[in-house]
């Protein structure tokens, strides 16, 4: 050790040693010397502890102990205890001093370590690149890294700074709240904090860890922050990308799929909706896809393989079907990409079915546009022509090149040049549509009528964009309308006004008559015996007869009245300014005289005559319908009066008409209330006077009117059509009665039933006869159906067909009232007829009329020659019976053999001659 370093230590040591020797040798008292020694030794011990080391403490203690021993050695015996006590005291003081020195050195070393660590921590925090900072419990900054200082713009440091001095109030409050939350929890807290720096929002992920002081109380927070602004932006971008993908994946017309290792591994909801299959049914290998035919599946597999090889993406069209079997047209595009680190193909699938249909519809529309027979013009909003079709050129004479770009004259207010006119243009503007006829002008100069329909077309914003006009040349239609108007108001056979025009003219005539206080007469003319000629000679002859009658009536009235035909053989004459009944009667006489002259048709002369009913305005009716109805009633009164006459309307005629309606209603109820019954008139074989058949006749027992004669209700039933149902009932009931007679033993009895014209021409006749035969079970040969000459001569071919169908059923056919019509013998032989019935008109006058005897004889002989059975009707006396027997008539019926009676009253065969009517 160098001498100048030992000098400070040697001086006190030597001084102490000297004092110890002096004190020990000086003759002081025992107690005083000991205490003085202690006072001298203790400072040196303290100095050794403070400035020296362990060696100095040992030396000072040893010297003190040595001085104490010297003093002890020279003290008397009685002071040894005190000297020992001083010695022990010095030893303890030395030991304590030495231990204190050791403690002090340890503390110094610990303090150095602490200061070194604190300095290291502060240096680490200040120079760390991370954002580190320490706060106290009040969130006041104690220490921060330089990077954090720079971030907050505090180059001089953040020590002592508060949150409110660095951040806006809302951000400072949020940070303080998070700091207190970490302190309250007593554990580290990780939060996101957003602060604005230089006008830019920055997001930080902050970790706040509380720490304690030496006493165990929370002293502050050690914090670190990481700027996650870019990461947050990346996360947001990722979310937006995912959102866009999901939005894309959920487009209603876009199917998205991913194929990996030859199998579908992903598909969106649209794929499920498009095909109708569930996701598990579709997440299968491509060759097992249920909506793809095998060939299409293999083709799609080849496309996927080409994409995996890196081929350019492209479109693939294929046809598939949904789960319900509906065919779908699909369009797919795919591209290679990496899915979960392995090669895959992602693609989109579009359902092109509706689009293809729309394209096809567009093609069809274009075809329709080009090939439409109507002209089509498309204009822009200003009326300039943008498109026309071929029909436009055919109708107008203008080519497409001549029309395109020109303003259409449709929008002209001058209708004379083909424009719509003011009213139509206003309607088009208000309603967006107009149609009607206009006059157009051809390129060659002539005008022609067209039917035009024009519509306004608006864009998606509701703005007018185009007009579409469709038109056609209606020249032929106009001519047809004129013709149809004529036909609608005139009779096509005679050219006379029909019922429609008559009512219109009558209405105007009555208005004029009211205005001038005048009268007019209405004549309802019906031809007599016209039906017989029409039924016998056919409709052609009837038409010629009607035309001839028209000419005669027209010659009578000239220009003084209106002549109309209102149906069949019915004519109406409207005579204006007819003020007196005698004047109307004179006109009626003229009509009768004109129609009384013979008509020459088909080389033969016919006499018709007519029946006329007359009604007068305003006496017999104030409207056209009433006048016509009353004139019709008067005409029927003329018919009842014997025909070929005229009758003026009288109020009691309405009473009779009401009675007619009442009878019609009652007849409809008669069948339901069982008021109808069947009577049977015997038919007797003249050879042996044996009853071989009966004729079924319909009778009506009305609860109020009593017995209604057939002449009163049969024509009514014929006119209203009730005769069809009545005839079916008669046939059914009479066949059942015949079956009962057969069961009672009358096996050979036959049944004759009359058919009306309506029955014969009604389509239900054959099924009705079949049903009657089947329900009754009788032999069809026992049933004989009677028809008239008029029925078979009206339409011979149709009648022949119907009669042939009836004969195939096995029933017999008879001609009733033979000789009263205009039958053709050449046609008669062609009909499958078994029986001729001589009309009672020829039998009644056999005794007095040679012509009737000749006719009866001729009919009998004709029947024999044709192999037919001949039946005479209306036999009432012995002379008639003898004549018929003499000339070979087969069967007779009439009051001589008995009147028609109920089934229970029918006599058994043979019938006794000379029976009288009941």
The domains located in the chain, with CATH, are 3-107 (no CATH), 128-233 (3.30.450.20), 250-356 (3.30.450.20), 372-473 (3.30.450.20), 490-649 (3.30.70.270), 677-905 (3.20.20.450)
Q: Encode burial over 886-909: b for 16+ CB neighbours within 10 A, e otherwise.
A: ebebbbbbbbbbbebbebeebeeb
The Cα–Cα gap between 830 and 803 comes to: 11
CA angle at 499 for the pair 494 and 501, rounded to the nearest 5°: 90
pLDDT confidence of residue 403: 83
Q: Is pLDDT of 572 > 90? A: yes
Per-residue pLDDT at 296 exceeds 70: yes
Place of tokens 């991370």: 130
Backbone φ and ψ of 258, nearest 5°? -130, 130
Token output for 442 = 């051809």
Q: What is the pLDDT of residues 433-442, one digit of tens each?
A: 888 888 888 8
- % of the chain with per-residue pLDDT over 70: 79
Query: How distant is the alpha carbon of residue 92 from its chain centre?
Result: 119
Q: Mean pLDDT, to the nearest integer, of 237-265?
A: 72
pLDDT at 553 over 90: yes
Q: pLDDT value at position 575? A: 92
Residue-wise pLDDT tens digits, 405-423: 888 888 877 776 677 888 8
Residue linked to tokens 């109808």 = 676
Q: What stretches of 268-362 adopt beta strand conformation (E)?
A: 315-321, 327-339, 342-351
Nearest residue to 528 via CA among 452, 586, 594, 611: 611
> Is it the case that residue 356 has pLDDT exceeding 50?
yes
- Of 492-506, 569-583, 638-652, the range with the lowest mean pLDDT is 638-652
DSSP conformation letters of 48-63: HHHTS-HHHHHHHHHH
- Computed over every residue of the chain, the mean pLDDT equals 79
**Cβ atoms of residues 419 and 412 within 8 Å:** yes
| Higher pLDDT among residues 300 and 86, named by residue | 300
Average pLDDT over residues 244-258: 68
Cβ pair 451, 437 in contact under 8 A:
yes
- Taking alpha carbons only, the member of 73, 70, 69, 99 closest to residue 87 is 69
Three-state DSSP string of 188-250: CEEEEEEEEECCEEEEEEEEEEEEECCCCCEEEEEEEEEECHHHHHHHHHHHHHHHHHHHHHC
pLDDT confidence of residue 283: 84
- Please, which residues bridge with residue 212 across strands? 218
How far, in Å, are 326, 395, 616 from residue 576 at the CA level? Answer: 75, 49, 10
Tell me whether the omega of the peptide bond preceding residue 618 falls within 30 degrees of 0, making it cis: yes
Could you say which DSSP state residue 665 is in? H
Report whether 897 contacts 682 (CB < 8 A): yes
Secondary structure, 3-state, 603-636 = CEEECCCEEEEEEEECCCCCCHHHHHHHHHHHHH
471: CB partners within 8 A, 6+ apart: 374, 375, 377, 395, 440, 450, 451, 452, 453
| Residue 466 pLDDT exceeds 80 | yes
| CA atoms within a 13 Å half-sphere pointing along the CA-CB vector of 625 | 0
**Three-class DSSP category at 752:** strand
Is 915 within 8 Å of 906 (Cβ atoms)? no
pLDDT digits (tens, 9 = 90+) for 106-127: 666 666 655 555 565 566 566 5
Per-residue pLDDT of 519-546, as tens digits, reads 899 999 999 888 877 777 788 888 999 9
Q: Which residues contact 298 (CB under 8 A, 6 or more apart)?
A: 287
Please answer whether residues 345 and 307 qualify as being in contact, where contact means their C-beta atoms are separated by less than 8 angstroms: yes
The pLDDT of residue 917 is 39
Whether omega for the bond prior to residue 833 falls within 30 degrees of 0, making it cis, is: no
- Distance in angstroms (rounded) separating the CA atoms of residues 746 and 690: 12
Residue 68 is inside which H or E element, if any?
Answer: helix 54-74
Neighbours of 720 (CB within 10 A): 13
Task: Kindly report, residue by residue over 660-710, the tens digit of the pLDDT.
Answer: 666 677 777 777 777 888 999 999 999 888 999 999 998 888 877 778 888
CB 596 within 8 A of CB 553: no
């Amino acid at each position: 050790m160098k001498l100048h370093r030992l000098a400070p230590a040697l001086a006190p040591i030597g001084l102490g040693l000297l004092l110890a020797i002096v004190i020990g040798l000086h003759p002081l008292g025992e107690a005083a010397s000991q205490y003085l020694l202690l006072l001298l030794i203790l400072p040196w011990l303290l100095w050794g502890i403070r400035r020296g080391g362990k060696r100095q403490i040992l030396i000072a203690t040893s010297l003190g102990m040595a001085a104490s021993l010297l003093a002890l050695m020279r003290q008397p015996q009685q002071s040894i205890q005190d000297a020992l006590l001083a010695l022990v005291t010095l030893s303890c003081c030395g030991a304590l001093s030495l231990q204190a020195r050791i403690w002090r050195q340890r503390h110094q070393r610990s303090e150095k370590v602490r200061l070194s660590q604190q300095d290291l921590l502060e240096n680490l925090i200040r120079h760390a690149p991370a954002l580190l900072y320490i706060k106290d419990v009040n969130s006041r900054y104690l220490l921060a890294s330089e990077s954090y200082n720079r971030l907050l713009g505090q180059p001089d440091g953040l020590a002592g700074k508060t949150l409110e001095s660095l951040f806006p109030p809302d951000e400072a409050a949020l940070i303080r709240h998070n700091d207190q939350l970490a302190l309250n929890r007593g554990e580290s807290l990780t939060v996101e904090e957003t602060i604005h720096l230089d006008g830019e929002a920055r997001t930080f992920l902050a970790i706040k860890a509380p720490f304690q002081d030496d006493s165990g109380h929370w002293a502050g927070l050690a914090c670190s922050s990481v700027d996650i602004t870019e990461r947050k932006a990346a996360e947001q971008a990722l979310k937006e990308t995912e959102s866009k993908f999901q939005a894309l994946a959920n487009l209603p017309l876009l199917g998205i799929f991913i194929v990996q290792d030859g199998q579908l591994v992903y598909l969106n909801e649209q794929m499920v909706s498009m095909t109708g299959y569930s996701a598990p049914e579709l997440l299968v290998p491509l060759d097992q896809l249920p909506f793809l035919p095998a060939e299409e599946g293999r083709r799609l597999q080849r496309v996927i393989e080409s994409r995996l090889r890196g081929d350019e993406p492209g479109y693939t069209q294929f046809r598939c079907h949904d789960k319900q079997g509906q065919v779908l047209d699909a369009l797919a595009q795919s591209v290679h990409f990496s899915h979960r680190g392995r090669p895959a193909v992602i693609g989109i699938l579009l359902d092109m079915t509706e689009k293809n249909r729309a394209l096809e519809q567009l093609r069809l529309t274009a075809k329709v546009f080009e090939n439409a027979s109507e002209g089509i013009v498309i204009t822009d909003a200003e009326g300039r022509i943008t498109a026309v079709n071929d029909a436009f050129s055919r109708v107008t004479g203008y080519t497409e090149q001549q029309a395109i770009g020109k303003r259409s004259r449709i929008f002209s207010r001058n209708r004379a040049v083909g424009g719509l006119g003011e009213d139509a243009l206003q309607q088009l503007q208000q309603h967006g549509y107009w149609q009607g006829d206009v006059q157009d002008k051809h390129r060659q100069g002539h005008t022609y009528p067209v039917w035009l329909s024009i519509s306004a077309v608006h864009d998606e914003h509701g703005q007018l964009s185009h007009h579409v006009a469709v038109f056609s040349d209606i020249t032929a239609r106009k001519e047809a309308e004129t013709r149809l108007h004529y036909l609608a108001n005139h009779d096509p056979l005679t050219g006379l006004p029909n019922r429609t025009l008559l009512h219109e003219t009558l209405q105007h005539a009555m208005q004029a008559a009211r205005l001038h206080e005048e009268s007019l007469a209405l004549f309802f003319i019906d031809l007599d015996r016209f039906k017989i000629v029409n039924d016998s000679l056919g409709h052609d002859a009837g038409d010629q007869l009607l035309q001839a009658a028209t000419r005669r009536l027209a010659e009578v009235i000239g220009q003084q009245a209106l002549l109309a035909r209102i149906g069949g053989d019915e004519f109406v004459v409207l005579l204006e300014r007819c003020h007196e009944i005698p004047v109307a009667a004179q006109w009626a006489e003229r009509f009768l005289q004109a129609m009384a002259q013979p008509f020459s048709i088909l080389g033969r002369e016919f006499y018709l005559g007519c029946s006329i009913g007359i009604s007068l305005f305003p006496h017999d009716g104030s409207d056209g319908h009433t006048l016509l109805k009353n004139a019709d009633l008067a005409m029927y009164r003329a018919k009842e009066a014997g025909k070929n006459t005229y009758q003026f309307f009288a109020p009691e005629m309405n009473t009779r008409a009401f009675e007619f309606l009442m009878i019609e209603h009652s007849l409809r109820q008669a069948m339901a209330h069982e008021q109808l019954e069947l009577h049977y008139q015997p038919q007797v074989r003249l050879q042996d006077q044996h009853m071989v058949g009966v004729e079924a006749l319909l009778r009506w027992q009305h609860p109020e009117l009593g017995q209604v004669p057939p002449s009163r209700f049969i024509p009514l039933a014929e006119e209203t059509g009730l005769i069809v149902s009545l005839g079916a009932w008669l046939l059914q009931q009479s066949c059942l009665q015949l079956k009962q007679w057969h069961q009672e033993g009358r096996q050979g009895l036959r049944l004759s039933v009359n058919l009306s014209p309506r029955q014969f021409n009604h389509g239900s006749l054959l099924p009705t006869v079949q049903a009657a035969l089947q329900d009754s079970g009788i032999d069809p040969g026992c049933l004989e159906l009677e028809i008239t000459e008029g029925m078979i001569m009206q339409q011979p071919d149709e009648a022949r067909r119907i009669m042939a169908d009836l004969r195939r059923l096995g029933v017999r056919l008879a001609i009733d009232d033979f000789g009263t019509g205009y039958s053709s013998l050449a046609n008669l032989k062609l009909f499958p007829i078994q029986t001729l019935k001589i009309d009672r008109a020829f039998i009644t006058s056999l005794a007095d009329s040679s012509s009737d005897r000749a006719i009866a004889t001729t009919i009998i002989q004709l029947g024999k020659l044709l192999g037919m059975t001949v039946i005479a009707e209306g036999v009432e006396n012995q002379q008639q019976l003898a004549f018929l027997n003499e000339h070979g008539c087969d069967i007779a019926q009439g009051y001589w053999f008995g009147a028609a009676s109920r089934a229970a009253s029918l006599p058994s065969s043979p019938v006794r001659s000379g029976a009288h009517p009941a």
